[in-house]
Chain A
Amino acid sequence: MSESAVPLDTVELDPDVRLMREIKEGSALAFEELMARNQAKVHSLLAHFTGDRQMAEDLTQEVFLKVYKARETYEPSAKFSTWLYRIVHNLALNALRSRKRHPELLFGAAGKPSAAGQSGVFSMEETIAAKSALTPTRRLDKKESQAVVRAAIESLGDRQREALLLHRFEGMNYQQIADVMELTPQAVKSLLCRARLALRDILQPYIEEGRLSE
């Protein structure tokens, strides 16, 4: 019951870290709360990353199950989000690798629709609409613009896409992204640079023609 202040890193003040401590003690309530705090972000990131909503849901569940299974080994030596997104990173890449081994199940890779299109984040109609947006006839509306941007992101390499999404959705800095993806900050910087350049190259024609709305 010491009442004196003890210096501590800001990590200890992370609510998710405190929740993880309680989860280690066996609190289901804390786990439910942790999920409520993080699930939506994880799901959204996975959906954009994989381009497949169903896969994103499955992976989201897997992520949190892994969080629970690994609770005993969790140490608050880093931010919780770093630890969490490392799990996301590994599960997502494994899932993509597995998907690539079965190309007939692919959808949306490099913008190519397939028979499995119905389970994707982006319906066949959206992708066709994105493709049709190549014809310079009119300014794209918001939905079409989103589809073009999504398609552009999907066309990026897995790592570029992941780095970009971690930066965009989670607001992570280079160091944090490096921790998640097990790279150096310089490598992350390079990845993001190439991702932005690629996006620029894909989207610049639309921008120059005034067809894309920001």
Chain B
Amino acid sequence: MNDPHDDAALPRNDSHEADPAPLDVWNASPDETTALEMNAVNDPDDEILTAYLDGELSEEELSRIEERLDRDPALSARLDKLRTAGKLLESLETIPLNERLTASTMEMLSAFVQREIKAERKKQTRRHLIALAIFAAVGALAFLIGSFAVGRLWPPHRAASEKDMPIVARLESLEIVGDYEFLTALNDAKLFAEENSARPVPDGGSTDKTSEKTPDKQSKKMPVPSALPPQSAPVRPPDQTEMFLLNMRFQRLTGAEKKKYRKLYRQIDLAPNRNELLTLLDLVGRWFWYDLHETERYAYWQTPSSERLAEIKRLRSESDRPANSDDGSAAPPIPGGKRGEGGPFAPADRRPSGFTRGGKESRRGGYPPRDLRPSLPTELRGERLDDIGDELFTFARKNYKDGFGDKKKEEILFEFISERGVDSFVNRLSDAGKTYLATMDEEQKIRLIGLLILVELHEKQFRMRVRDDDRSRDDLSGPNRAPNDRAPNNRMPNDRTPPPGRYAGPDTPNAGFYWKTESTRELAETLKKLPQAKRDELLSLPDEEMYSQLLILHWGFDPKQGTPPAGPSKGGDRLPPGNRGERWEKDVPRENPRENPRAEPSDQKRDNPRNEMPEPTDSWKRFLDEKKGSAQPSAVTSAPDPT
């Protein structure tokens, strides 16, 4: 049993003696009252009546006393007197607290902790000296023993503590929400009420106050709040690989960021509507990562905190908007984002336009496409690049008439911008747009022009299809052209090119084409699909390097190499923003985790080389070598052959 105080415990005293003469309570000494109170004997009826008023009687005792009270007016009168006196206790007010008390207590505690830390450091220094002495005394064996001993002194680097596990599991959602006030405002706005209604409770946590009064009566078992939501939760909890990656992301946070998310999670955990908030958190995370277009996610991160609730409202209302169709009727939902048959313009088909949707049933199908224009900076939302699709089509026809091969779509897009020079696009904007971009450097202009082009292509439902194995069916469709509905593997391009933006990592400057839009689930997919040898090699690296290499493999871009060289360059040298190795066309449909995040990741198909991560392109290797300023091959070339 805990005995935190060093004061002598007061003796128990259950003895009872006859009560002496009534006490003069105004004049008796404290010692007299103490002695008397411990030795007095009570009238049994008084004790029962007191226990009755305190609600401490068993059911049997209760019914007996109530029976007696009904029969015995004198007893009832005694009860009333006791009750009245007891009620007067209710008038006792709470004595207000001095506001400085908390602060002064924390100051005292800080001084105490400082003393503790100093004492602990002295102890550690002694331990270190002892360890060194052991090393010197027994040589190699002592080094092994000492290493083990020293290792025990330091906390593990990679693993989050058990108390942080719930935070790690929900890290992506916590990052979106940011603070408790925002989450409660989001809850009050009921923007996710439909998904949240009639959901199973994430866990059995309860802070029912009644259980505090009589814990011995609360014999029912409550499930422990686990680190992850149970299987019945609306969102699939992260699997082991995802937790591994989430943990690393968590470890890469600054101390202030960790503190922020711990505080946020604690506030949620202690809230009266804890379960509701946790469910909302999971739903927001799922919606953000799997229902939003990458452009929209990017736009969300750029939105000032004070406007994010409005941005979510806007995005939610966009997703609820019924899709149009050829015959004007609302489009039925498309379950699981499965690729439909036929082309997008076919009346019978209600495929989502432009990009796939994951998770819940897509509410949109057909066209017009979702409005991504608000994803642009305000100053560029009114800008147009007319005929950009035709120009891109012409460029692709000229440079890739034999097909795109392994060329990444985003590389092609940025080759397109580079070939013409970004200023040629800037000059086509209005004066306001030009003025806005005039203050930016080359790289920023490329990013924003690239984003504008993407939005334009999306709005015009630009389609480009290539088939490697059937050149007669090559079809670089121009804008607004109906696709060849009969073409097998008639696949809509993935125009989810990530627009550039900031990188959230603590050690990467806010520059370059990389930014945090991949979800941990996508990274986990990348990791799982690596060959075993490559995966083992990766996991043997220190955390920081491992994560960086994984990002390189995922995006095909090393953010630590910084920005690409300024100025126009010939196509292929400019490093494009990364993508996930998506192609415009695949001959083997590949399940996209975005379409169905509930699905467990498929096993790596070793017999299908297209499922392996691609080798970096020559242009990228050249770029990396240039940046390194050496003739040695880049680190990525040490990546093993994916086959």
- A residues near B, CB below 8 A? 1-15, 18-19, 21-22, 25, 27-33, 35-36, 39-41, 43-44, 47-48, 53, 56-57, 60-61, 64-70, 73-75, 77-79, 81, 83, 86-87, 90-91, 93-94, 96, 100, 109-111, 121, 142, 145-146, 149-150, 152-153, 155-160, 164, 167-169, 171-175, 182-184, 186-187, 189-194, 196-204, 207, 212, 214
B588 contacts the other chain (Cβ, under 8 Å)?
A: no
| A10 adjacent to B28 (CB under 8 Å) | no
B185 contacts the other chain (Cβ, under 8 Å)?
A: no
| A57 adjacent to B98 (CB under 8 Å) | yes
| A196 adjacent to B29 (CB under 8 Å) | no
| A203 adjacent to B95 (CB under 8 Å) | no
A157 in contact with B34 given A61-B108, A199-B88 (CB within 8 Å): yes
Residue of B nearest to A42 (CB): B97
B40 contacts the other chain (Cβ, under 8 Å)?
A: yes
A75 in contact with B5 given A61-B105, A149-B92 (CB within 8 Å): no
Residue of A nearest to B215 (CB): A10
Question: Which chain B residues border A186 with CB–CB below 8 Å?
Answer: 14
| Measured CA separation A48–B237 after assembly (Å) | 50
| A40 adjacent to B97 (CB under 8 Å) | yes
Residue of A nearest to B110 (CB): A28
| A196 adjacent to B228 (CB under 8 Å) | no
B225 contacts the other chain (Cβ, under 8 Å)?
A: yes
| A146 adjacent to B109 (CB under 8 Å) | no
Q: Residue A70 contacts which of B4, B46, B230 (CB distance < 8 angstroms)?
A: B4
B205 contacts the other chain (Cβ, under 8 Å)?
A: yes
Q: Residue B37 contacts which of A41, A110, A194 (CB distance < 8 angstroms)?
A: A194
| Measured CA separation A185–B5 after assembly (Å) | 22
Q: How far is the CB of B35 from chain A (nearest CB, A)?
A: 9
Residue of A nearest to B32 (CB): A157
Interface centre among B56, B110, B169, by most chain A C-beta atoms within 10 angstroms, is B56
B153 contacts the other chain (Cβ, under 8 Å)?
A: no
| Measured CA separation A190–B33 after assembly (Å) | 15
B609 contacts the other chain (Cβ, under 8 Å)?
A: no
User: From residue 42 to 78 of chain B, which have CB atoms closer than 8 A to chain A?
Assistant: 42, 46-47, 50-51, 53-56
Q: Give 29 CB contacts A-B under 8 Å.
A: A1-B240, A5-B223, A10-B218, A13-B225, A33-B266, A44-B94, A68-B109, A73-B4, A74-B4, A78-B2, A81-B212, A86-B2, A90-B7, A90-B9, A91-B5, A93-B10, A145-B88, A145-B91, A146-B93, A153-B89, A153-B92, A168-B92, A169-B92, A173-B213, A191-B37, A193-B50, A193-B51, A199-B86, A214-B90
Interface centre among A43, A60, A200, by most chain B C-beta atoms within 10 angstroms, is A200
Q: Residue A189 contacts which of B26, B47, B91, B226 (CB distance < 8 angstroms)?
A: B47
Q: Which 5 A-B pairs have the closest CB atoms?
A: A70-B4, A5-B223, A157-B37, A7-B221, A47-B95
B533 contacts the other chain (Cβ, under 8 Å)?
A: no
| Measured CA separation A197–B108 after assembly (Å) | 42
Question: Which chain B residues border A41 with CB–CB below 8 Å?
Answer: 94
A5 in contact with B226 given A159-B38, A173-B213, A174-B54 (CB within 8 Å): yes
Question: Which chain B residues border A43 with CB–CB below 8 Å?
Answer: 95, 97, 101
Question: Which chain A residues border B230 with CB–CB below 8 Å?
Answer: 3-5
| B231 adjacent to A3 (CB under 8 Å) | yes
B31 contacts the other chain (Cβ, under 8 Å)?
A: yes
| Measured CA separation A168–B54 after assembly (Å) | 10
| A193 adjacent to B92 (CB under 8 Å) | no
Question: Which chain B residues border A156 with CB–CB below 8 Å?
Answer: 25, 33, 37
| A184 adjacent to B212 (CB under 8 Å) | no
| Measured CA separation A175–B109 after assembly (Å) | 32
Question: Which chain B residues border A83 with CB–CB below 8 Å?
Answer: 2, 4
Q: Residue B204 contacts which of A5, A35, A68 (CB distance < 8 angstroms)?
A: A5
| A15 adjacent to B207 (CB under 8 Å) | yes
| B50 adjacent to A68 (CB under 8 Å) | no
Residue of B nearest to A164 (CB): B89
| A65 adjacent to B109 (CB under 8 Å) | yes
Q: How far is the CB of B7 from chain A (nearest CB, A)?
A: 5
Question: Which chain A residues border B259 with CB–CB below 8 Å?
Answer: 29
B36 contacts the other chain (Cβ, under 8 Å)?
A: yes
Interface centre among A30, A43, A157, by most chain B C-beta atoms within 10 angstroms, is A157
| B84 adjacent to A29 (CB under 8 Å) | no
| B223 adjacent to A6 (CB under 8 Å) | yes
| B263 adjacent to A29 (CB under 8 Å) | yes
A214 in contact with B27 given A5-B226, A43-B97, A194-B40 (CB within 8 Å): no
| A200 adjacent to B85 (CB under 8 Å) | yes
User: From residue 455 to 501 of chain B, which have CB atoms closer than 8 A to chain A?
Assistant: none
| Measured CA separation A21–B13 after assembly (Å) | 34
Q: A3-B226, A3-B237, A110-B26 are in contact. List 6 more A-B contacts (CB 8 A).
A: A12-B224, A61-B101, A110-B30, A190-B47, A197-B42, A197-B82
Question: Which chain B residues border A194 with CB–CB below 8 Å?
Answer: 37, 40, 42
Q: How far is the CB of B633 from chain A (nearest CB, A)?
A: 39
| B270 adjacent to A15 (CB under 8 Å) | yes
| B51 adjacent to A189 (CB under 8 Å) | yes
Interface centre among A6, A160, A190, by most chain B C-beta atoms within 10 angstroms, is A190
| A21 adjacent to B50 (CB under 8 Å) | no
B23 contacts the other chain (Cβ, under 8 Å)?
A: yes
| B223 adjacent to A183 (CB under 8 Å) | no
| Measured CA separation A63–B269 after assembly (Å) | 26
Residue of A nearest to B42 (CB): A193
| A90 adjacent to B5 (CB under 8 Å) | yes
